[in-house]
Structure 1
Amino acid sequence: MSSANKTPETAQDPPRRRLPKGERLRQLLDVSWVLIGNEGTDALTLGRLADAAGVTKPVVYDHFGTRNGLLAALYQDFDIRQTAVIDAAIAASRPTLEDKAGVIAASYVACVLTQGREIPDVLAALGGSPELAAVKRQYQQAFIEKCEAIFAPFAGPKGVSPAGLWAMLGAADALSQAAVAGDIDEEQARDELRATILAMVGRSR
């Protein structure tokens, strides 16, 4: 059939391109972040994602299974990128407590700001079910263990207390989200988190 005989909709719509699974996952995650940024997490359903990404619903269900699976994948996506940024910054920093504290504070705040309003929305949604709360805690625990190892050479014989590390993480999230909301600026969030880290390690000596 010639293009002249096609309906206007058919003639204008490009054919869907079959992507490798990894590329399709990346596309779906990217579209999800845009949807959250524009409409919030309440609007993010698997059907809405399929429409926005230009794919059929079975494609989205094949990747995520459920909406909770999608939210967990988004948090994992953010955590992977945040971890890479922090690891690179730590590797490039000088072997002093002040430098380690500074790069962790700066990297943490910068990652959340780069993601914008989307990551606080996803974090809020992760608390909506035991399944998602467990996913969130898994990544929080990994970050706690990373910081514990980084600060161990500067702490006392018993190391930094678990309570102190969890308090630091709570401060990191609260300060970063305050910066996203515009209540404080990035420099204030970064400097306060750095001071919190230094005080935490100082108390362990």
Structure 2
Amino acid sequence: MKSDHILTSRRLSRAERRRQLLDTALQIVRDEGADRLTLGHLAARAGISKPVAYDHFGTRSKLLIELYKSIDREQANALRKGLITGERSLEETIEALASAYIHCYADTSGEWHAIGAALTGSEEKEAVYQELLDGYVQLFAAVLEPYVNLPQVDLERRCVGLIGAGEALSAAMVRGNCSEADAAKTFASLIQGGVHMAAP
């Protein structure tokens, strides 16, 4: 067993193994649904022993949270990347912000929502979810700040409401109640309304 572990370590570093396990976990969610994601099943799909999976994540809840955060990091990075290119008017910025935010959810094909649903009721999930939402509030505020004449605290409060609307529209899109284009257009109009009165 010890020699097997040494061979595994030589093939992949701990960080690389963790990334491989998270990628495999995401594939399980895509192929079979979040309910099928257990540490034992992850180990089998990744071709490793159960102790290795437990060593990385400890519990199923921690695995789900790590996967949840991993997907969110990719969404946030894509959102930032889509907003740093070129100078835009306020309307162009709002359209880009709304489109990029909604597209992040379309891009995950519902996995993020499925994992979130699997974590419902978990105290850890609520704390992580709030941390992620706070990150989006800060991002929205930073993008909109040059265009509005509001104290930072007031702008952030408005962004809290806007993010809530974006979450609801994204969930509706994932359920098939509206298209990505319709969700983005509606979200842009809500952002426009939220900052219109505060424009200098």
Considering the TM-score relative to the shorter chain, is it more than 0.5?
yes
State how many pairs are aligned: 191
Q: Distance in 2 between matches of 1:73 and 1:186?
A: 27
Q: Is 1:73 the counterpart of 2:66 in the alignment?
A: yes
Residue 171 of structure 2 is aligned with which of 177, 190, 194? 177
Q: Distance in 2 between matches of 1:158 and 1:169?
A: 18
In the TM superposition, what are the counterparts of 1:1-205 in structure 2 within 5 Å?
Answer: 18-159=11-152, 160-205=154-199
Q: Distance in 1 between matches of 2:150 and 2:186?
A: 26
Q: Quick one: which amino acid aligns to residue 131 of structure 2?
A: Q
Counterpart position of 2:4: none
Structure 1 window deviating more from structure 2 (35-44 vs 184-193): it is: 35-44
Q: Quick one: which amino acid aligns to residue 171 of structure 1?
A: A
Q: Quick one: which amino acid aligns to residue 123 of structure 1?
A: G
1:89 is displaced (CA, Å) by: 1.2
Q: TM-score, normalized by length of structure 1?
A: 0.84
Counterpart position of 1:4: none
1:106–1:190 contact (8 Å) kept in structure 2: yes
Q: Highest Rg: 1 or 2? A: 1
2:145–2:155 contact (8 Å) kept in structure 1: no
Q: Distance in 2 between matches of 1:117 and 1:157?
A: 35
Q: Percent identity, please.
A: 34
Larger relative contact order (C-alpha < 8 A, sep ≥ 6)? Answer: 2
Q: Distance in 2 between matches of 1:100 and 1:55?
A: 46
